[in-house]
Structure 1
């Protein structure tokens, strides 16, 4: 046997030094399992990864608040109560959604697989929906000359731009010593810098950044902390105080501060107000977001399955939210009565619920989660991992 492998005797060519194996690829020294002693299957092998019901519930409820907030906007001019609710919801609904996005971006490492997912799941939907929104505004909005510009996100597409930028910068936030204070500093500087401009909605990207970084810094035990019974009880008076404060502040301040899309100077305030409002709104948003998480159920509910389709609902409901303004749905006098406001709220929650359902996800998956295998080169390491698993 030895002579057949080495026909020229015992003088063998030295082997090259062993390289560190890639993740999932066996090294030359890896002992392969034999037929007599098969390798044990890893725990949980063959089972689909279970989704956490709490986060699916939180995403669904947050997106419902987003839709209700959009439906309340036309009512705020005539109803002080609607304005107070609008301000409270806008304080936490997007921050809560962004915190969850940051929490689930902790594993982003700029590997080829994750970059592909970022392109197909964020960049491509941005291009498609930005074009679709522009065409919708040209037709339904009566603005036939509105240009298609991928540098100027219209309406809801800003979030996809922000998510793309935030995830690309995730490795940076994971290595700096004080990521959250640094992110808050960046947001405060953006709020006093009108030179940032509107390209790619960078004001929103930078001013909402601390919530994404906060999500990166959180651990499972932090969510368990805010879901304790005493926190749930305390959340009720805190929310009521926030609602009373919003009712008082409604006529005295502009709600544009909650959009985080303009600098202080662009809102007609002195530059230092941008720093003050950045810190104040960040603190208020964190408190109300904690109150929101405290009341999110942790068990499976009838709407838990809808948590996987929240981005579908978010982007699709924008056509109805804007269409309702284009088509004058809020011009009717009954809409501005208390009963009319309740109807509008129920309709908004119902529409966003339908748009998050699995049938709608299957219908629009070509735009939201395209495979696009043809667009990428085959990754040798990934192919090796697949062969090893097989």
Structure 2
């Protein structure tokens, strides 16, 4: 028993679990023999000298314990014999069982034996036993081992490192979150302790995090980037440069055929991949910030830059922020597509709804302000990409699908050559209304439906044929934004200077020369050196613009 006349109470706040112990503290209903070291030592009462000899074992040395104290203390003469705590010897019977972490207990040194301000020589508390607070520091005499791990996230769960007693732990599935970083993984269950990630043992007590600093956890391995999508993006961005460079030579049937072939699928496939990559866009603050960092700010900078370039080449100054010029339409359209992502993910049948909107949008003459015409014209491709899963791409990796894809591409090329001399280019921009195309409503719906089917067939054929492993251009596909926004400068200069209008360029040989030059330009603009030169313009760091997420510190909170 603890003699309160000569020593401080045995239990002090802030205890930490000892690995070798086998039970819980007194007055909680838990019963076990405590080691002698834990009952009395110079750690529990530094002001009293250590034990000088064995304590007498007579009946006088084992008198009745005062009510409200743990029957586990010892006098200053030596350690008491080990026996179970709170066996019901007092008049009031055994202490009611309750969880140890039911809320913050008294914080003073004498919290177990009486009021916090009781003098060391005062009699012990004789009333109802006070609640036993959870140990809150490393100097506690009761070195309590961790209780069996309960469901992750309950208040004071031992499986959650640093969870203070009586405070709610992290929600289930939140992972082992650190105050200064993101969650490092899913919450561990009863069998696997969170201490495996920190290098600590699973004996951490519930109140340990109130005074100890959070242990740094190992960073999770970065997820490897999928080279397949980077391969696809580089192929598409090279076709974008080729398509823009063929405009001065569209009077030639060869150029016109290649132009129709490219424009049937290259931007629809770009939009489809953008939709696929936007599935988890709203689950990350960093990705949400990119709506401003990589869309709005570059849009304004590029818009002003192209207006200045056209003025330098002899055109009149013209700048309309709401009406994107030339290739800048994609940034605004993608911005609005991603803003609409939560709406599509809430729908039960998003693809049929998107196709219906795409068809009915042809009845209205939608202006190009904020790229609304292409926003509706290419909407089905974004939504289809949004609902696609990785297994859908794996289905395209079958041999028979690859063979069918080869014939699909060859058939599309043959059709483009046949229809090029007498086909208008308006439908391939996915923005003109039926009235603009001089079509009746049923002819317009039929044309849009046929174009949607052809575009999807070519998109899936290209996805099936593009290499899936690492290639020499996989790394180039990670920087397609720079190629897209910067290639307009040399192409616009070449158009204005007449370098793309030489007579020999109006033919198959000219088409091959233009395509080869544009392919080389795409490689240059996707190099890491290009990103180093223009990153401050196209990917500015605007951390000062956003609120820093509040870190929930476990200590003192």
TM-score, structure 1 length as denominator? 0.88
1:53 Cα deviation from its structure 2 partner: 1.0
Check the 8 A contact 1:192/1:272 in 2, yes or no: no
For the pair 1:242 / 2:408, whether they are aligned, the reply is no
Give the structure 2 partner of residue 287 of structure 1: 457
The whole-number CA distance in structure 2 between the counterparts of 1:166 and 1:180 is 14
Give the structure 1 partner of residue 121 of structure 2: none
1:251 Cα deviation from its structure 2 partner: 2.6
Structure-2 change in CA distance of 1:297 and 1:26 (3 Å): closer
Structure-2 change in CA distance of 1:374 and 1:51 (3 Å): same
For the pair 1:53 / 2:227, whether they are aligned, the reply is yes
Gaps of 5+ in 1: none
Give the structure 1 partner of residue 509 of structure 2: 339
1:164 Cα deviation from its structure 2 partner: 0.5
The whole-number CA distance in structure 2 between the counterparts of 1:372 and 1:273 is 48
The whole-number CA distance in structure 1 between the counterparts of 2:368 and 2:481 is 23
1:76 Cα deviation from its structure 2 partner: 2.1
* Aligned positions of 1:190-201 closer than 5 A: 190-194=361-365, 196-201=366-371
Check the 8 A contact 1:67/1:348 in 2, yes or no: yes
The whole-number CA distance in structure 2 between the counterparts of 1:338 and 1:344 is 10
Give the structure 1 partner of residue 340 of structure 2: 169
Give the structure 1 partner of residue 391 of structure 2: 221
Check the 8 A contact 1:226/1:294 in 2, yes or no: yes
Give the structure 1 partner of residue 375 of structure 2: 205
1:25 Cα deviation from its structure 2 partner: 7.4
From 32, 36, 56, the equivalent of 2:201 is 36
* Aligned positions of 1:317-336 closer than 5 A: 317-336=487-506
The whole-number CA distance in structure 1 between the counterparts of 2:363 and 2:420 is 23
Structure-2 change in CA distance of 1:244 and 1:17 (3 Å): same
From 320, 336, 343, the equivalent of 1:149 is 320
Larger Rg: 2
Q: Deviations over 1:249-291 (max 9, x none)?
A: 2233211111112212122222333322221111100000111
Check the 8 A contact 1:192/1:275 in 2, yes or no: no
Query: Greater share of helix residues, 1 or 2?
Result: 1
1:312 Cα deviation from its structure 2 partner: 0.8
Check the 8 A contact 1:207/1:260 in 2, yes or no: yes
For the pair 1:94 / 2:267, whether they are aligned, the reply is yes
Corresponding pairs, count: 377
Check the 8 A contact 2:308/2:317 in 1, yes or no: no
Give the structure 1 partner of residue 432 of structure 2: 262
For the pair 1:132 / 2:302, whether they are aligned, the reply is no
The whole-number CA distance in structure 1 between the counterparts of 2:301 and 2:381 is 26
1:296 Cα deviation from its structure 2 partner: 0.4
1:18 Cα deviation from its structure 2 partner: 4.4
Give the structure 2 partner of residue 119 of structure 1: 292
The whole-number CA distance in structure 2 between the counterparts of 1:204 and 1:309 is 24
Give the structure 2 partner of residue 10 of structure 1: 130
For the pair 1:75 / 2:195, whether they are aligned, the reply is no
Partner SS state of residue 228, structure 2: helix
Structure-2 change in CA distance of 1:114 and 1:337 (3 Å): closer
Q: Deviations over 1:188-240 (max 9, x none)?
A: 1222211x212112110111111111111111111111121111111222222
Check the 8 A contact 1:108/1:171 in 2, yes or no: no
Q: Deviations over 1:271-318 (max 9, x none)?
A: 333322221111100000111111100111111100111111011101
Which has the larger displacement, 16-25 or 323-332?
A: 16-25
TM-score, structure 2 length as denominator? 0.63
Structure-2 change in CA distance of 1:75 and 1:266 (3 Å): same
Q: Which has the higher contact order (CA 8 A, sep 6+)?
A: 1
